[in-house]
Amino acid sequence: MNEKIFIHQKGKEREVDIKTAIFDCGKELFSAKGFKKTNIKEIAEKAGIGVGTFYNYYASKEQLFIEIYKKENEKLKHRLIETLDLRQEPVQLVGRLLRENQEAIQANPILKEWYNRDFYKELEKHYRDEDGRSMDSVREFFLDLLRSWKRQGLLRDDIDEELLPVFFDSLVCIDMHKEQIGIEHFPKVMQYLIEFIINGLTKPKHQQ
C-alpha cells in the first residue's frame, strides 16, 4: 500500500504515496467544485490511478471527504487557540474566537460544507457515531478556560464546576439540530447563544 506515484499540483510535479495523492487531489477538487459536484472518477483521474485503486484506500467519497474535513477543522481549531490572548475578558475573548472561527469557515470551502444541506448530515453522523471525541481538543480548551475563570472569581459563585462541561455539550447538541433551527439562521443564532451563556456565567464587573 506504499506505492509511489507522481501528481501535478499548482504547476509542479511531486512524488507521493497513493493515499496521499488521493487525499491531496480530493481536497483540491472538493475545494474547487464542492462535495456534491465532485465524483470519484475525477479524483482518481487527477491522482493518476484507476477507480478500483481508489477503493483500496477509501470506501466512499464521503469517507475521503470526512478525513479531509477533520484535518482542516483540526488545523483551524489549533490555529485559533494559539492566537488567542487569554488575558482578555471572558466575553471579549469568546466573542473574538466566534468571529474568527466563522470568518475562517466562510473562507475555507471544505469547512463550509458543515452548513451544506447536501452533506452536513454525513458529517454529523460521523461526529456522533464514529469519532465524537475529535472535538475534545476544543472542548478541553474551553473547559480549562472556564475552570480558570472560576478560580479567578470571574464566574458566578452559584454555578457548580460540575456544570461547566454541560454548557459546552449542550451547544454541541444544539449544533446537531441545525436543520430544525434553520440552516440560513443557524450561525448567527449559535453565536448569540454562546454569548448569552458566557454573559450568564460571568459576574458583572463590579462583583469580580
Cell of 106: 466562510
Q: What is the residue-wise DSSP string for 37-98?
A: T--HHHHHHHHTS-HHHHHHH-S-HHHHHHHHHHHHHHHHHHHHHHH--TTS-HHHHHHHHH
Superfamily the domain 4-57 falls into: Homeodomain-like (1.10.10.60)
Q: What is the pLDDT of residues 28-63, one digit of tens each?
A: 999 999 998 999 999 999 999 999 999 999 999 999
Q: Which fold has domain 73-207?
A: Tetracycline Repressor; domain 2 (1.10.357)
Q: What is the pTM of this model?
A: 0.71
- The band of 129, judged by pLDDT with boundaries at 50, 70 and 90, is low
Q: What is the pLDDT of residues 135-170, one digit of tens each?
A: 556 677 788 888 888 988 989 999 998 888 888 788
Matching fold, domains 4-57 and 73-207: no
By the 8 A CB rule, do 197 and 190 touch?
A: no
- The band of 180, judged by pLDDT with boundaries at 50, 70 and 90, is confident
Listed by start position, the domains of the chain span 4-57, 73-207
